[in-house]
Structure 1
Amino acid sequence: MEQKRRFAASLLLATALPLCAHSFPFAEENPIAYGKVKIQSWKAQRDFNIVK
């Protein structure tokens, strides 16, 4: 009987963990996949950090 409980608990845990692991967005980790890439013009890149 104890083995059945352990098996049921481990089965429940094994099915619940993957659902919890993917419940938050990964936009901070992979901005390309979520379209959060900041685009700069070539002028902005050229003039970056230049004191005028």
Structure 2
Amino acid sequence: MSNVIGWLGIDIVFKGFVIAHIALIVVRARDFLRYVGVLLLFWSVIWFLSL
């Protein structure tokens, strides 16, 4: 019985670990996309001004 509880604990920890990583990746991706968007906006303004 304790073996089953041990495996359940590992399963819950593993799933929590995976969910935490996915959440971290999503947050990082959102920050990265915002950064890329600002950079693209900045470059398009420079390009527009240099026409």
Alignment of 1:12 onto 2:12: yes
Aligned residues: 39
Q: Give the TM-score normalised by structure 1.
A: 0.50
> How does 1:26-37 map onto structure 2 within 5 Å?
26=28, 27-28=30-31, 31=32, 34-37=33-36
Larger Rg: 1
Q: Give the TM-score normalised by structure 2.
A: 0.50
Q: Any gaps of 5 or more consecutive residues in structure 2?
A: none
Q: Any gaps of 5 or more consecutive residues in structure 1?
A: 44-52
> Could you say which structure has the higher helix fraction?
2
1:4 CA displacement: 1.0
- Show structure 1 runs of 4+ deviating over 2 A: none
